[in-house]
Each structure stands twice: as C-alpha cells, then as structure tokens.
Amino acid sequence: ILQVDNPLMNANGKPEAIDAGIGTTPIVYNGRTLVPIRAIVEKMGGTVGWDGATSSITLTYKSTTIKLVVDSTTATVNGATKTLDVAPMVLNGRTLLPIRFITENFGGEVGWEDRTSTITLKY
C-alpha cells in the first residue's frame, strides 16, 4: 500500500521507506501515479537495473522483463513494444515510473482510493 506524498509504504502489514534515506514519495502527474520503484520491485522478489548512459530502466519479476527509458512513452515487455500513458521521469535526482503500467504488466492488480490518494498493489 502506497500513498501520494507519503515516503512510507506498507508491505504485508509492515511500514517501510519507499526510498530509504531520501524520502521520495509517489506523485500524480498528468493523472497517473509515478513512484520510485526499486523498493517495491525488490520487496516482490524482482530486480531493478539502471543504465545511466542511456537513462534506461530494466525491471525483472518472475518471467517478465520490462524495459523503459526516461522521458519516453515507449516501453518493452518481454520484447513486445507497448505505449505508456506517461513517461518515466527524473525528479530531484530520483527516477519515478508509472506504477499501474508496471504492476499490470507484472500480472498484478492496482487499486486506487481517490479520497485518500492511496494505491494498493496485489500480486
């Protein structure tokens, strides 16, 4: 469970920092929620790779690999090209990714509670 503007996430009932020592929080940009993804993917048992030369991110969870590039609305999922509603961005030196795209392409479900700006991820 994550909340916009909150630096903590609740992972299986336990509060943890989303971006330890930095305090980065989920944000809403152009109607989409973007989050610093590393802690979330690693908590699920996946991996996150960063290539600074190309500003590209590689996420792997189980048998799915997602590749994204900062400021690009084109991504690949297991080699198939897909279009994002909003591009990954760098904000205050941290890379933020669209959580719905990531979660759904990893086979999970995303819930949104508008009143509290809360995101619930289920895998």
**pLDDT given for residue 123 in this prediction:** 85
What is the model's pLDDT at position 121? Answer: 95
CB atoms within 10 A of CB 57: 22
pLDDT the model gives residue 72: 98
CA distance 65 to 105: 9
Residue 78 backbone zone (phi > 0: left; psi -120 to 50: alpha; other: beta): left
Helix (H, G, I), strand (E, B) or coil at 46: coil
Which ranges of the chain have pLDDT less than 50?
none
Whole-prediction pTM value? Answer: 0.94
Q: Which two tokens stand for residue 43?
A: 């908590």
